[in-house]
Chain A
Amino acid sequence: MHFDPFVIPFNIGLYFILIYTVVRCITWFRDLSRPDKLRLQRGFFGRAFGQSLKEIFMESLLHRRILKTNLRLGYMHMSLAFGWFLLILFGTIEADIFSQSHLNAPYKAIFFKFFNPTHGQTEFERAYSFMMDFILAFILSGLLLAVLKRFSSRVVGMKKTTRLKLTDKIALTSLWMIFPSRLLAESFTSGVYGTGSFLTGTLGSWLNTFLPSDHLAYVFWWLYSISLGTFFILLPLTRYMHIPIELFLIFMRNSGIKTGDKTGTFSEVQTYSCSSCGICIDKCQLSSSAGINSVQSSYLMKAIRNDDDVFNIAHNCLMCGRCDQSCPVGIELMPIRMIQRREGEGNGDMRTIWRGYFRERQNPALVRVPEEPSFGYLPEKKFRQADVLYFAGCMTHLTPLIKNAMVKIFTAAKENFYFVDEDGGVCCGRPLMLAGQDREARELINYNSEIIWKSGAHTLVTSCPICYKIFKESYHIGAEVLHHTQYIKRLIDDGSLRLNYSHRKVVYHNPCELGRGSGVYNEPLDVLSFVAELQNTQFDGPNSLCCGGSLGNIKIDTVSRNKIAADVTAELTACNPDVLATACPLCKRTLANATDCQVADIAEIVAGEISLIQRKKSRISVLNIRELAEIS
């Protein structure tokens, strides 16, 4: 037997999805910028190719990163993806060696048992059947977890599960039916012919004792084919599209393509690669503390795919980067959210066509640029020559303790410094940028840049991590930008600052913009362990929490912010520290309102420990306790 009508649904689905994926990739490729096209070509034919294959194996099939975060969830994803892959691979090999001919049509492999019902007589055939049954059992175990997860996400150790739309539901049902119907189809056939291994064989012979297996087998082969066909045809409309698209993403990423600041192929590919695993939702404090469950990255990706108006979702996010850090697919979630913020209300320049099977670039809406600049009122710039500039930042003016501490530190270190915004300065521009108003931000950046540039300073010190991030990333000022924790660390290291050791217990709250945002993790901890008894928490480093005060979120109300801050301070003060230290004026104010524990900036703690006897600058570096511990 070479053909049976029941394979038609499967064939239609399979060829449809293959052609669709290829066309889709071609359109995406065409949309890439020239340099990105070159990058991708180089990536395909260069060393990155091996890297990509490895990553595809590790992530798309084994789901290593999900396994690392959540074992049960990882197993679920792995058994489905890797198991299916094995089933196809060994199915194809099976069809190749055991059928009459080589190079069969795919359906021959998928429905092998139907076309070769007597297969499984010899020892070798039996061993092969055993393996195929084993793989099927592996998939079914994962499927069982997936079904249970739908009904209770706690089964896989998750607090929340993602919500579904109708097409997702149909596709999900067809996905769920694929493997059980294969199991039953194979079992019935095996039952009739007395073949099959421990799973299909046993089940088949048992069912055969009381059911008309012959007829039922045919029904289930049909069902198997229909489920596959339906699943493939609906695939582009559902989140399962991430399965083929993620392969493309991995190639693009390994070729060095970045998200950029406008919607483009890469951001599109990334939104389609989201597997809706929900890990980002679990990480998000808006969900865990404030009960806001509609704005997380997973929902944002879905809303973009559905072409919903994502303006409000995009802005209701702390931009803390906790999800970005943990997304197992490695989607650049923060840049994608920023793109949505920039595009403005209902201005998204993509449009869904053909009932959702394709998206097309729209003509970008005409933006009338106003004649005059927004900040034309700013006064003539004042310059002053200095070695070191201190830019406290807007927020720091509301925390005079930090400001005073820094002045004390500069003075103690005998630094030739100039306090740029002593009388209130011009905002660094990052808040505007976070609100998606880049053009306005640029005006402020240019204004401040000139002041800094012309002062001839070699170093710019700031107390505010929000300022720090934008100074580092978007200013071209010819001066080295340091957050005050980094600067203090240097002063300690080169002996310019002599400090006493206080025996107070401190824990450190790492501000988002400094830690995950700018990668500054060690200096604050080094400085703290140098002056006080630093207690480690599980939130040191990239897993740090957001205080809740973030300027990144323009939407949430004070009640939600307070809830987040209360949870954070509860976590951080669990070990009863004397001081809750941080390195950001905004974090300080937010946390201080939520706890009775003393909250202080690292600069304040340091300024309080300055030795009265300042010795001459020594060239010998002072090792701090951490480094000593590492050496010994």
Chain B
Amino acid sequence: MGKHVVVIGAGVAGMEAAGRLSRNGLEVTLLEKESVAGGHINDWFRLFPDRRDSNEVREYLINLSSDPKIQLKTGASVDKLTRHGSSYLLTTDAGENINADAVVVATGFSLFRSSRKEEYGYGIYENVISSADLEKLFISGEIVISSGKAPQRIGIVHCVGSRDEKVGNLYCSKLCCVTAVKQAIEIKEHLPDSEVFCFYMDMRMGGALYEELYREAQEKWGVNFIRGKVSEASETIDGKIVVKVEDTLAGRPLKMDIDMLVLMAGMEMSEGGSKLAATSGLKTGENRFFASADHHFGSNISNLEGVFFAGTCIAPMNVTETISHARAAVTEVMEYFSNNNR
């Protein structure tokens, strides 16, 4: 057909979409703002729920998207999207203009900047880290605190930047509960003698095999779960973190010295996505993610004809859901072309 599709963002959704589009015989340009493709999955060590090596998924995606029909351009972010007749003109930050017959927006998510919750001390106390920082430690193979020693007691704080009216995010990021459980298990794998405490408001283990993982964390690894939103964290002279939280099930405030505090940063609309929405007239919802045309049967469809959404640019999703969503986006693109080509 000779049609050309531009996919914005080469993360899980973008790579999956690009690969499937090229398999359908389309020319694809895959734009990535970073220097390499892969997105957040590059920073993750293992994936829930089965703790498979993230490299396996990355390899799958690279294989899928390594096709002569796909031109990958890294270091390119899209400033603007304008309609010209039946096609779109994309302007990159480098000033390059690219024509597209259809566009797949796969700009993904950004992790919540944990320093915005000042009371948790991220960026202030050395031993307060985010979930992404912990993955880096896992990749490095060494879990140590600022003193160079292995932490004895680790606290994990759920819902950092999600379900929090104070930072303007009312929604649940959906994946951080299971990430917390996964990371808790991994910590115990690395440091069998350590104690791990998860501080949660609700355990949201709704995905396939999540609940089983939760149970495994208790049964096999002895991870502790305390129901209460952490209110503040402070630092002692010897670099320990003191968390203040109410153990709501015991009905009493609880104070605990912790060697390392891990914040489960939530997912937010990516900066690139917000910029694109502002310059190109793509609608966003109250949660600032892109707004789909219909929640049930039009979740890939945007308010601009020929522009489709794939993956976490519309809402938090796990890898499995992201891949399915990207495939669905491809179906929408194909249908769009066949309808417009008669």
Contacts and interface: CB of A to CB of B under 8 A. Distances in A.
Direct contact of A and B (CB under 8 A): yes
Interface of A: 397-401, 404, 558, 589, 592-593
A593 B168 CA distance: 8
27 contacts: A397-B119, A397-B232, A397-B234, A398-B118, A398-B119, A398-B232, A399-B118, A399-B119, A400-B118, A400-B119, A400-B121, A400-B124, A400-B125, A400-B232, A400-B233, A400-B234, A400-B235, A401-B118, A401-B124, A404-B124, A558-B165, A589-B118, A592-B116, A592-B118, A593-B166, A593-B167, A593-B168
Contacts of A404: 124
A592 B119 CA distance: 13
Contacts of A401: 118, 124
Given A398-B118, A399-B119, A593-B168, 9 more contacts: A397-B234, A400-B119, A400-B124, A400-B125, A400-B232, A401-B118, A404-B124, A558-B165, A593-B167
Nearest to A594: B168
Nearest to A398: B119
Contacts of B235: 400
A121 B328 CA distance: 100
Contacts, number: 27
Nearest to B235: A400
A427 to B, nearest CB: 16
A593 to B, nearest CB: 7
A589 B167 CA distance: 10
Give the 5 A-B CB pairs with smallest separation, nearest first: A398-B119, A400-B121, A400-B124, A399-B118, A401-B124
A452 to B, nearest CB: 23
Interface string B222-243: 0000000000111100000000
Contacts of B167: 593
A87 to B, nearest CB: 60
A23 B124 CA distance: 67
Contacts of B124: 400-401, 404
Contacts of B116: 592
Contacts of B119: 397-400
A558 B166 CA distance: 9
Interface of B: 116, 118-119, 121, 124-125, 165-168, 232-235
Interface-centre pick from B165, B168, B234 (highest chain A CB count, 10 A): B234
B114 to A, nearest CB: 13
A401 B118 CA distance: 8
B124 to A, nearest CB: 5
A593 B164 CA distance: 12
Contacts of B166: 593
A397 B244 CA distance: 11
Nearest to B123: A401
Nearest to B233: A400
A400 B165 CA distance: 21
Contacts of A400: 118-119, 121, 124-125, 232-235
A399 B115 CA distance: 11
Nearest to B168: A593
A103 B168 CA distance: 75
Contacts of A592: 116, 118
B166 to A, nearest CB: 7
A401 B123 CA distance: 10
A567 B118 CA distance: 23
A589 B124 CA distance: 16
B125 to A, nearest CB: 8
A421 B234 CA distance: 13
A397 B233 CA distance: 9
A405 to B, nearest CB: 10
B226 to A, nearest CB: 20
A592 B118 CA distance: 10
A404 B233 CA distance: 13
Contacts of B118: 398-401, 589, 592
Contacts of A399: 118-119
Contacts of B121: 400
A399 B168 CA distance: 18
A394 B232 CA distance: 12
Nearest to A588: B118
A242 B266 CA distance: 58
A301 B124 CA distance: 48
Contacts of B234: 397, 400
Nearest to B116: A592
A593 B119 CA distance: 13
A592 B165 CA distance: 14
A399 B235 CA distance: 13
A586 to B, nearest CB: 12
A400 B121 CA distance: 7
B257 to A, nearest CB: 13
A451 to B, nearest CB: 21
A314 to B, nearest CB: 27
Contacts of B233: 400
B291 to A, nearest CB: 21
B245 to A, nearest CB: 13
Contacts of A558: 165
Nearest to A422: B234
B118 to A, nearest CB: 5
A256 B265 CA distance: 59
A400 B125 CA distance: 9
A592 B115 CA distance: 11
Contacts of B165: 558
Nearest to A589: B118
A558 B167 CA distance: 12
Contacts of A397: 119, 232, 234
Contacts of B125: 400
Contacts of A593: 166-168
Nearest to A404: B124
Nearest to B244: A424
A562 to B, nearest CB: 8
A344 to B, nearest CB: 31
Contacts of A589: 118
A400 B261 CA distance: 16
B223 to A, nearest CB: 27
A397 B232 CA distance: 8
A527 B129 CA distance: 33
Nearest to B118: A399
A592 B113 CA distance: 13
A393 to B, nearest CB: 14
A36 to B, nearest CB: 47
Contacts of A398: 118-119, 232
Nearest to A403: B234
A401 B128 CA distance: 14
A222 to B, nearest CB: 65
A399 B116 CA distance: 11
A262 B234 CA distance: 43
B202 to A, nearest CB: 22
Nearest to B234: A400
A399 B232 CA distance: 9
A401 B232 CA distance: 13
A232 B166 CA distance: 55
B183 to A, nearest CB: 24
B335 to A, nearest CB: 39
A589 B116 CA distance: 10
A397 B118 CA distance: 10
B275 to A, nearest CB: 13
A119 B232 CA distance: 85
A278 B298 CA distance: 53
A318 B267 CA distance: 34
B281 to A, nearest CB: 22
B277 to A, nearest CB: 16
Interface-centre pick from B116, B118, B232 (highest chain A CB count, 10 A): B118
A245 to B, nearest CB: 47
B174 to A, nearest CB: 23
B263 to A, nearest CB: 14
A404 B235 CA distance: 10
A404 B121 CA distance: 11
